[in-house]
């Protein structure tokens, strides 16, 4: 297996070439319910698509965008782009059309791979900007030069150029060459192009192996978008490096879709965001364990709670296929009550911390060694520093390592801000390191509220206290006219059950919601510091507007009162 000593001699192409030689007949990727593709066939398809692209004018260092749902062809496309030395620009499938148009322009993408479903959402001007447009479902190439459109099928094209195909010459791809530009879906309203080199992604994939070694028998089930850095690096590059396999689902991971997929694949590894397990806990586990007064009494006793959690954990483990060895959670902070449940249930969960800018893994735990509230220690090869700490040791998190991005694309001024003089990346997160090097995240500096006496108030900590309530799905804390307020999305399913017992009417339901909000405010203010107390709790009647990675778009709610519903103008689509 590769080590960090090898990263200056490797490109991402090395991973596929090596596994195709070692494991030619083993499965690499496939849809659930369909026969997977072997490493041998996968590598052959990459070669053919690379030839197809190169023959249509894509050259080394050209930018090629990918806008598609998860599929085997997504990964074939990525490796084909890299094989000819071009730069991949993965785009999250939930990005709005306006954002796609901006990304294609800003990245100067020459070609675009798009699924048939998302093609219909493209602006006409976005299509015409592309010299080459490829339907990723069947790799049909549509060229748009001089306003003319032709269609070239890959099968016929490769058959007609069989001799040239066998003599495809690929450039010498160096570790420091750019592999990807990934546009973030930030909560602040701005999307930045993160430049990741082959060295960045190679090193982080190897760091993933150091954290949790696997072999060719590992089975991944993919539920996050492949263009999400967590899923891409650790859910796709990692298994390819080790000769393992990944399966994709064709529809969003609802319970109806996920249950049969889990039964078929019986995954050994899954990577998720907190929302998935939080939803299971809040909608299934906690209600079943506190369904009456007696159960609530038992649940309030530490000893019996742990026993109940073990029983519930076994049931969930069986539901997930019964073979999980690693259930990775990253992308946002996990609710403390949910983590306590997972820990006491002895569920094989692991917490990771990182950013797109760090390829993404920077710190992480493994099943069996979590510390509640911690993202774990730095992964091998990464150094974590806390700069400008306060008396409690809390300060901004700065990261060093071979996985740190090259910088933001076309953003020299911003790059000067985010890198320290000695090359560290300023994450914008604040945290604390304990004596064993375990990292505890406090919040985002940009979200911080300055208290009346200069106190640093982090909304995330107050939200964690709010989200403990059985009535709360999600919450958002922000400053309004000098006061700390919260918006709370009520668990409507639980509220309906509650009101059904009392045969409640609409006006009675509203009255009950007000009681719930009042009780939330009281309990939260009893828990937080005096300068973090909330003044008002508003009922968020509509689901929060979120980024494609399911984080609330905080900037939309700033300075908004209880009756002001924000509008996300980035979601407005022109008609083709």
Whether cis (ω within 30° of 0) applies to the bond prior to 92 is no
| Contact predicate 491/282, CB 8 Å | yes
Is residue 221, in this structure, part of any structural domain at all? no
Lowest mean pLDDT among 117-131, 245-259, 296-310, 405-419: 117-131
* Beta sheet of 483-490, edge-to-edge order: 472-480, 483-490, 536-539
Place of tokens 């300023």: 426
Q: What angle, 0 to 180 degrees and rounded to 10, lies between the N-to-C axes of helices 72-83 and 39-55?
A: 60
The Cα angle at residue 541 between residues 536 and 542, in degrees rounded to 5: 125
The neighbouring-strand residues paired with 269 are 220, 326
CA distance 80 to 168: 12
Is residue 37 located within the same domain as residue 117? yes
- Tens-place pLDDT, residues 51-98: 999 999 999 999 999 999 999 999 999 999 999 999 999 999 988 888
- 432 C-beta neighbours (distance < 10 Å), count: 18
* Final residue belonging to a domain, choices 447, 467, 486: 447
Q: What tokens were used for 97?
A: 């059309």
Is residue 438 located within the same domain as residue 562? no
- Concatenated DSSP letters of 117-139: HHHTTS-HHHHHH-SEEEETTTT
List the one residue out of 332, 336, 364 whose CA is nearest residue 350: 364
Is residue 246, in this structure, part of any structural domain at all? no
| Contact predicate 359/204, CB 8 Å | yes
| Contact predicate 28/37, CB 8 Å | yes
Place of tokens 């929302």: 275
Domains contained in the chain, number: 3
- Which pLDDT band, with edges at 50, 70 and 90, does 145 fall under? low
CA distance 548 to 224: 10
Q: What tokens were used for 416?
A: 């000067």
- 178 C-beta neighbours (distance < 10 Å), count: 18
Is residue 462 located within the same domain as residue 414? no
Entry field: residues in the chain: 576
Is residue 67 located within the same domain as residue 183? yes
Residue 285: is its pLDDT beyond 50? yes
CA distance 334 to 286: 16
Place of tokens 């546009």: 183
The Cα angle at residue 328 between residues 313 and 347, in degrees rounded to 5: 15
Is residue 481 located within the same domain as residue 341? no
CA distance 281 to 412: 44
Is residue 499 located within the same domain as residue 552? yes
Average pLDDT over residues 506-518: 85
Is residue 430 located within the same domain as residue 453? no
Is residue 31 located within the same domain as residue 167? yes
Max intra-chain CA distance, the chain = 77
CA distance 398 to 495: 43
Region at 503 (left for phi over 0; alpha for psi -120 to 50; beta for the rest) = left
Is residue 478 located within the same domain as residue 431? no
**Better pLDDT: 142 or 311:** 311
Phi first, then psi, for residue 470 (nearest 5°) are: -65, -20
* Final residue belonging to a domain, choices 447, 462, 480: 447
Q: What is the pLDDT of residue 448?
A: 86
- Tens-place pLDDT, residues 338-364: 999 999 999 999 999 999 999 999 999
The neighbouring-strand residues paired with 156 are none
List the one residue out of 262, 341, 355 whose CA is nearest residue 307: 341
| Contact predicate 534/524, CB 8 Å | yes
Q: What three-state secondary structure class fits 534?
A: coil
Is residue 567, in this structure, part of any structural domain at all? yes
Q: How far is CA 402 from CA 6, 145, 342, 397, 439, in A?
A: 12, 40, 32, 17, 19
Q: What is the 3-state secondary structure (H, E, C) of 426-465?
A: EEEEEEEECCCCCEEEEEEHHHCEECCCCCEECHHHHHHH
Reported as type and span, the H/E element at residue 500 is helix 492-501
The neighbouring-strand residues paired with 439 are 376, 433
Question: What percentage of residues in the chain have a pLDDT greater than 90?
Answer: 69
Is residue 139, in this structure, part of any structural domain at all? yes
Residue 574: is its pLDDT beyond 50? no
Name residues whose C-beta falls within 8 Å of residue 202's C-beta, 6 or more positions apart in sequence: 2, 7, 10, 11, 12, 14, 15, 175
- Which pLDDT band, with edges at 50, 70 and 90, does 569 fall under? low
Is residue 146, in this structure, part of any structural domain at all? yes
Is residue 157, in this structure, part of any structural domain at all? yes
Q: What is the 3-state secondary structure (H, E, C) of 26-85?
A: CEEEEECCCCCEEHHHHHHHHHHHHHHHHHCCCCCCCEEEEECCCCHHHHHHHHHHHHCC
Residue 564: is its pLDDT beyond 90? no
- Tens-place pLDDT, residues 183-224: 986 555 567 999 999 999 999 999 999 999 999 999 999 999
Residue 2: is its pLDDT beyond 70? yes
Q: What is the pLDDT of residue 453?
A: 65
CA distance 33 to 514: 47
Q: How far is CA 241 from CA 15, 233, 270, 506, in A?
A: 5, 10, 17, 57
CA distance 498 to 509: 9
* Final residue belonging to a domain, choices 420, 447, 474: 447
List the one residue out of 94, 121, 105, 116 whose CA is nearest residue 575: 121
Is residue 98 located within the same domain as residue 42? yes
CATH of the domain at 413: 3.40.50.12780
Q: What tokens were used for 31?
A: 């849809």
**Better pLDDT: 504 or 203:** 203
- Owning domain of residue 140: 4-212+226-239
Is residue 259, in this structure, part of any structural domain at all? no
Q: What is the pTM of this model?
A: 0.87
Lowest mean pLDDT among 93-102, 149-158, 359-368, 464-473: 149-158
Q: What tokens were used for 343?
A: 């820990």
| C-alpha gyration radius of the chain | 25
Is residue 537 located within the same domain as residue 409? no
Q: What is the pLDDT of residue 506?
A: 67
CA distance 187 to 215: 37
Average pLDDT over residues 293-305: 94
Is residue 153, in this structure, part of any structural domain at all? yes
Is residue 90 located within the same domain as residue 183? yes
């Amino acid at each position: 297996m590769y080590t960090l000593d090898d990263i200056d001699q490797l490109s991402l192409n090395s991973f596929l070439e090596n596994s195709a030689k070692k494991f030619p007949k083993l499965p690499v990727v496939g849809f659930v319910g369909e026969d997977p593709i072997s490493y041998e066939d996968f590598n052959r398809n990459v070669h053919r698509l690379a030839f197809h692209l190169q023959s249509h004018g894509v050259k080394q260092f050209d930018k090629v965008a990918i806008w598609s749902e998860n599929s085997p062809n997504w990964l074939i496309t990525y490796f084909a782009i890299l094989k000819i030395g071009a730069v991949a620009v993965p785009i999250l499938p939930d990005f709005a059309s306006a954002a796609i148009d901006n990304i294609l322009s800003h990245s100067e993408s020459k070609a675009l791979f798009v699924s048939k479903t998302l093609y219909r959402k493209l602006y006409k001007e976005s299509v015409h900007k592309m010299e080459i447009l490829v339907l990723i479902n069947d790799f049909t190439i549509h060229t748009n030069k001089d306003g003319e459109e032709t269609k070239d099928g890959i099968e016929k094209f490769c058959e007609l150029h069989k001799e040239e195909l066998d003599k495809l010459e690929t450039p010498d791809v160096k570790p420091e060459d750019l592999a990807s530009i990934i546009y973030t879906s930030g909560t602040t309203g701005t999307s930045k192009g993160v430049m990741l080199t082959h060295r960045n992604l190679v090193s982080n994939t190897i760091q993933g192996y150091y954290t949790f070694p696997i072999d060719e028998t590992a089975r991944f089930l993919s539920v996050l978008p492949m263009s999400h850095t967590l899923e891409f690096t650790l859910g796709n590059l990692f298994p390819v490096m080790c000769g393992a396999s990944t399966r994709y689902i064709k529809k969003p991971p609802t319970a109806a879709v996920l249950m049969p997929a889990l039964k078929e694949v019986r995954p050994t590894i899954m990577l998720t965001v907190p929302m998935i397990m939080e939803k299971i806990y809040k909608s299934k586990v906690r209600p079943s364990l506190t369904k009456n007064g007696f159960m609530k009494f038992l649940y309030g006793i530490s000893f019996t709670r742990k026993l109940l959690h073990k029983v519930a954990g076994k049931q969930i483990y069986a539901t997930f296929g019964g073979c999980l060895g690693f259930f990775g959670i990253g992308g946002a902070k996990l609710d403390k009550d949910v983590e306590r449940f997972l820990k006491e249930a002895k569920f094989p969960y692991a917490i990771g911390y990182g950013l797109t800018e760090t390829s993404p893994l920077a710190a992480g735990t493994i099943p069996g060694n979590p510390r509640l509230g911690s993202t774990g220690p730095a992964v091998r090869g990464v150094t974590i520093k806390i700069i400008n700490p306060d008396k409690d040791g809390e300060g901004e998190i700065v990261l060093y390592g071979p996985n740190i991005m090259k910088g933001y694309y076309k953003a020299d001024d911003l790059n000067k801000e985010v890198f320290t003089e000695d090359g560290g990346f300023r994450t914008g997160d604040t945290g604390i390191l304990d004596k064993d090097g375990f990292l505890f995240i406090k919040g985002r500096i940009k979200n911080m509220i300055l208290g009346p006496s200069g106190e640093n108030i982090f909304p995330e900590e107050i939200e964690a206290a709010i989200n403990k309530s059985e009535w709360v799905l999600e919450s958002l804390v922000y400053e309004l006219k000098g006061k700390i307020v919260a918006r709370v999305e009520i668990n409507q399913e639980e509220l309906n059950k509650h009101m059904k017992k009392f045969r409640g009417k609409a006006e009675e339901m509203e009255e009950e919601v007000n009681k719930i909000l009042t009780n939330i405010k009281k309990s939260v203010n009893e828990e937080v510091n005096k300068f973090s107390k909330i003044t008002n709790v508003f009922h968020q009647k509509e689901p929060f507007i979120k980024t494609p990675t399911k984080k609330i778009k905080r900037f939309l709610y700033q300075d908004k009162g209880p009756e002001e519903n924000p509008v996300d103008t980035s979601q407005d689509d022109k008609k083709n």
